[in-house]
Each structure stands twice: as structure tokens, then as C-alpha cells.
Structure 1
Amino acid sequence: MSLKERDKKHLWHPLKQHQIQPESIAIIKAKGCILTDEDGNDYIDAISSWYTCMFGHCNDYIIEKTYRQMQQLDQVMFSDFTHEPAVKLSEELIKILPQGQNKIFFNDNGSTAVEAGIKMALQYYFNKGEKRSMFIAFENGFHGDTFGAMSVSGLSVYNGPFEEFLIDVKRIPTPDGTNHQEILNQLQSFTSKYDIAGFIYEPIVQGAAGMKIHDANGLNEILKFCRANNILTIADEVMTGFGKTGKNFASDYIDTKPDIICLSKALTAGLLPMAITSCTQDIYDAFLSDEMAKGFFHCHTYSGNPIACATALAAIELLQSNEIQNNIKEIIRSQQEFNERIKAHPKVKSTRQIGVIFALDLNTKMERYGDLRDKLLKFFMDRGVFLRPLGNTIYIQVPYIISKKELQKVYCVIEEALTLV
């Protein structure tokens, strides 16, 4: 019996309507940019498996570093112990994180990184004797699937059944270069009516919304307003972090830095699950007290796992290498050339790019999870490229180690699809 057949007996896949969508493809190995299925078919992973495997699958350098750590220390509870990989990772991360970040808190995944950030903001004011319970977030943002993260997300396709159970959030549009004064007026209205704890945002790029890029100057004005009004700012860099925007973090494009940053995905290069919520010294100090109840009682069993920390350290080393930095520049240049080829295509409504993130909107209406979108996904897979459309948005976020030949194949398959849409 094939893996696909065995899969259907017991497994429930995420983001999938099993009644009507195609069965899952069984992948048996991966190396570099290539996924191989049980029938021997190869696929270029053009989205780095949800933006995680940015250094390619089964990267030899990362595997070696991880293997060494597995032989030394596998797991120890982080509430009572510490260890070299966690300490070293905190030191190396603080060096490259946006200015002002000084404390590292470990989580399991992107959603729980956001969850911890939300709880930090709420308890920050609670510990200071202030009752603040409302958040501000962008329209169409996505921050995860746990309840706090879901509350501040604006895509109802994900959280529609749970909306009556979520925390209070007021939403604002993303800045587009012309509307930031309107947004500031809206924020002024909110602050006059509500006790606002924090503003959470995806800096520069809204990933799940279709790689929508917004104006850095406008975002900076929003962050300046929040700082002036004592509203904590939480940058969700789960998708944007670790070089994808052309800088280490998307917040590096913005003068006003966040109070809290959420990290995951490429943090461990797709090899192991781990996440981090970092914060300023001021946030951390608000939890210091002779009262135990003012501590941050939020914990995950695998927090600070030594093996995951060693993996993250290896990924940071690679990110800062001349080879990877040069590769990133080459991918950016290549995508700019591709953009010039297709931006005027009659089937293309719009294009956008920042760093290695490239997206185009098809000049046709498509449901986010619908029949036409599934046909387009199958079209790509049949031609050996894994691209996962977000409605009518086709986006590319390739591993930093992709070859020129592989990258050109990705472009050619997209251009072929444009003739058939």
C-alpha cells in the first residue's frame, strides 16, 4: 500500500478540506531545493516549505552542528537549568536583532511566540497596576492559530468560527504611502476611547495576506505614535526574519524599533521546531518583583531545547556568511529581471518584491481555497515546482542556495501558467 493510501486512514492535515481537496503527495526525501515523492518525482521547493528551509533541505553544515549537540545534551527543562547552546544563541541573536532588544524567551512555534508577546504586553501593564486589554492590529494580518494570535489576526477564513471568543482588537489599514495621516487620526480616536495595551504588526510584508507590502515610512509614523502614547509594539517577524527581506529583519527598514519581536520558521532553518519572543530590558524589568505572581508564568516543555538552539546557531552562522549574503543578492537581481519580463503581461494584475520575496497577482478572481486555486497548484506540481498560491497571488520565496537553473525553471513554469489562466 502506498504512503498516500496509508495516510488517508488516520491522518488529518492542516488547512485542508479532505472531502473535496486532492490527496496529499507523499514526500520521502529532500535535499537542497528538491523534494522527492514516493513515485520518484522531483519538485523544486520554491517557497522553502513555508519560509523555513532557507538554507535548503538537509543542509550538511546545519546537520553536522545539530548532530554534535545530540551527542552532548539532548533535552533539559529550561525553568531550572541553562546550557551553552541557549546562552550562546542569546548572545548571537542580540548582536543581529534590531536595536533595543535585550532579553530572549523561548517558545515552540510562531503562534506561541506571538501568544507570549501578547501576554507580555498585557501583564506588563497589569504588573504596573494599569488595566489595558485591547490591541490594535492591521487589517488582513495573520499571526497564528492559538487564541491570542488568532484574536489579532484579521483573516476570517482562519478564525471565523471562533470570533466571539477572542480578545478585543481594533484594526487599521496598512500604510500605502498616502494614508498614514488618516491612520494616525484613527489611532488618536482609539486611544481616546480605549485602554490599549499593544499594537501587533507584520513589518513591511503581510505574508498570509498574499505577500502584501506596505510603506515603511507610514509604518514608522504609526510606531512613533504608539511610543508617544505608551502603547507597546510587537513585531511579528516569524515570516520576515533572517534575511528574507534583504536585511536580517524587516524591522531594520524602520527607524522606530519594536518593544517585542516574535521569531520562528527560518530561525532553525526548517530542521527543528523552535520560536523566540525577544523584548527590551524595560519589558523584562516590569516582571521583576518580590511577588511570585508578577513573574511570567508561561512555559513550554521544550523551551530552549539544546538541539534546537544548536541548529539555530548554525543557521545564524550561515546567514552571516559571505556565500549566503552573495546568494541573496543574486536572487534579488534575478527576480528583478523576472519582474521586468512579466509585469506587463495581460494576465498579471500587479507585482511586488522585497528581498527574496516576490509575488504577483493574477488578473482574475480566485477563492483563497477553491477549485481554480487547486488546479493551479496541481499545474505547478505536475511540472516539478512546488508553488502554493494564496488565492490569486503566486509568490516565490526560494532557499538561499537555489541554483540559477532551478530558479529559471520556477520562472518558466509561472510564465507557462500565465498562458493558461
Structure 2
Amino acid sequence: MRTQVGIIGAGPAGLLLSHLLHLRGIDSVVLERRSREHVERRVRAGVLEQGTVETLVAAGVGERLRREGLVHRGIELRYGGAGHRVPFERLVPGRTVTVYGQQEVVKDLVAARLAAGGDVRFEVDDVTVHDADTDRPHLSFGGERLDCDVIAGCDGFHGVSRSSIPEGVLTVHERDYPFAWLGVLARVRPSAEELIYARTERGFALHSMRSPEVSRFYLQVPAGEDIVDWPDERIWAELRTRLETVPGFTLATGEILEKGVTPMRGFVAEPMRHGRLFLAGDAAHIVPPTGAKGLNLAVADVRVLTEALTHWYATGSTGLLDDYSDTCLRRVWRAQHFSWWMTTLLHTFDSDDAYARRLQVSHLDYVTSSEAAATTLAENYVGLPYERDLADPIPEAPRARKANE
């Protein structure tokens, strides 16, 4: 087999890349080791930046997102017995976020790729990267071979793409946090219209949602915590303790559908390219989920790679491909800092003494009383503008080479 772009991973990054390339007349094959059912049910991020929403709508996969997504024009920071709203609509006019689960984005993209005749292969075994440092890279899987011009590694932190790069090529930056998030998906109407980020002496809590009938909650717990130690009753009791801290607020409870513990870490591998292998999304970087940046960074990477590949196929120039890693990393490191900042602002650390706790509260007071500080939070949360816009509404590259040329 031969294609122009071989894509490893059928998460949001790989599927969106495949679809954007298709709209430009560039062929791709997507290889995914999990089943379609698994990737469409995998609960992950749910807060989409303004630019992510605009990208999906422009790609023609935003109809259900527009219909079912919950548009949020602010968030609440809750601490010290009071709630403080950060109003996006006033601080960054015209910019919002939309709550729409990652699994819903994946469903929309899978449907779009299959409807367009896209080659998306699930339950593919033993994907291996070959000759990425040459101009003839290829992938092998299940006894088959896929020749391609370029390989896109969109297969997540534990995928094969990054691990296939020779030792010493990448510089890895990593920070592990001394706590984790216990995440809960519950069949209960949200108790608030917007996300609540709560800082308490017992630890952080987040009230989020996925739909008008389903809510998402997170609790800060010690790193390495075992989910079996958290029966439903204990989860609801702790959520009430951390969230019912302002007058008149009562947390609604209901059936817990899913729960699990996620470690907190920051990770960046650079450069995000090795020869003809380009890393995107979690394959190259991970952020603590406090800033809601993971999925949005993946979309930003894919936008840059789409533009670079389109330009290369249309003109033969490698300029944008050569700039791919540096362009992406500027946004990645900004998101790393914002995610670290939100995490340290709202979580309790075992090493903190009374001095450190008072500094944290002082910083929260500043963010909630200073328009300049609140604007910094708001503009990072809704998503900074992209360095470049995708070419006008998704044209086909005029001289894109087909796979058999």
C-alpha cells in the first residue's frame, strides 16, 4: 500500500489531521490499535477553546457541536467561603469556551472520515515506524506495509511514535506533581451553569459538566491513590465538603457512571520532529488538566502540520515543515506555564507551610480583584490566537501530489 501521509492514532489529533488533509486533496491512512467502540467511548477532555470550535466548524464537523455544546462565558474561582466569577465576555469580548466531550469530537470525526471514504483502520496490531530519517519512510502492521511521504505520530503519550525516535534525539522536560485527580462522571444535572474551580484546605475540587443531564467532577487526591478506596458515598461526601462552601449552594448528587484516578504531570519532548516523522498532541506533550489545554494543543498542532503539508505538496518548499516544531512549541510552552500556574494557584501541597498557604490566597485575591490579572487568566483559558490562520476556508491544495505520483 501507499499513501501520502501515514497517521498513527485515531484520537482527535489523528482524525482531524486526516480530515483536514482530505479537504485539501491529500491522501492519508489512519492506523489505530484500539477498537472503534473504545475510542468513541473514551472519556477525556471536555472544554474546547474558541479556536478549536472554529477549526471543527470550518472543517465541516461542527454541526452537532454547535447544537449540543454548552457555551460558557466565564468560570468561577471559589475559595475562602466566596465565589468569584471571571467573566470572559467582558475581559476578552467575543471569546468563549464550549463544553463538549472529547469522545463526541471523536464520534463526529470518525463519521466524517468514513462518510468521505477515508481509510481509518481500527484494531491494528504491531504498528512500527521504519526509515523516518529518510525520504522513504514506511509503517508496518499486522504483516502489511504502508509506504508514505510523511508519518504523523498522533498516538498519545504511550504510543509507538515517540518511542521509535532514536535515543538522544529528543530532549525531554518533565514535572510530576505530588497529587492526582480523581475524576467522576455522574448522571446528575449540573449544580451550576459554569465550571467551578474550588480551592480548599482539604484540596482542590472541580465542578464541570458534559451535558444538561451529565456532570463531571474532580477531586485532588494523593498521587498513587487507589480508586477502590473511594466508594461512591465517600466521593459525594468529599465533593460536598469542598464545593458547598458558599451560601445557598447545594451539590446535586446522582448515579456515578465512571470514576478513575489520573496522575498529574507536565511533559514536553522536543523537537516534535525526526526526519519525516512529526509528533502531534500527547505524543509530544502533556499538561496538567487544570488549564483544560490537552485536546486544544492537539488541535493547534494539527492545524500547523496541515498548513505545512499543504504548502509542501503545493509548492515543494519545506519551509513550513522545517518550522513545524518551533511553531508548535511556542504555544505548547505557553500552555505548560498556564497549566502549571492554574495548578499551583488552586491545589494544596503537602510541603506548604502557613506562609505558602497565605501567599496562595493572596495571589487568588489579586486575580479576582485585578482586571489585568483576571484578563490574563481569561485570555489564556479561552485560547490565545493562532500564529497563522488556515488557508481560506479549507481549499484543496492546487498542486497536491496524489499518492501514486
Q: Place the TM-score, normalised by the shorter chain, in its bin.
A: under 0.3
Report which of the two has the higher share of strand: 2
User: Which is helix-richer, 1 or 2?
Assistant: 1
TM score, norm. by length of structure 1: 0.23
TM-score by length of 2: 0.24
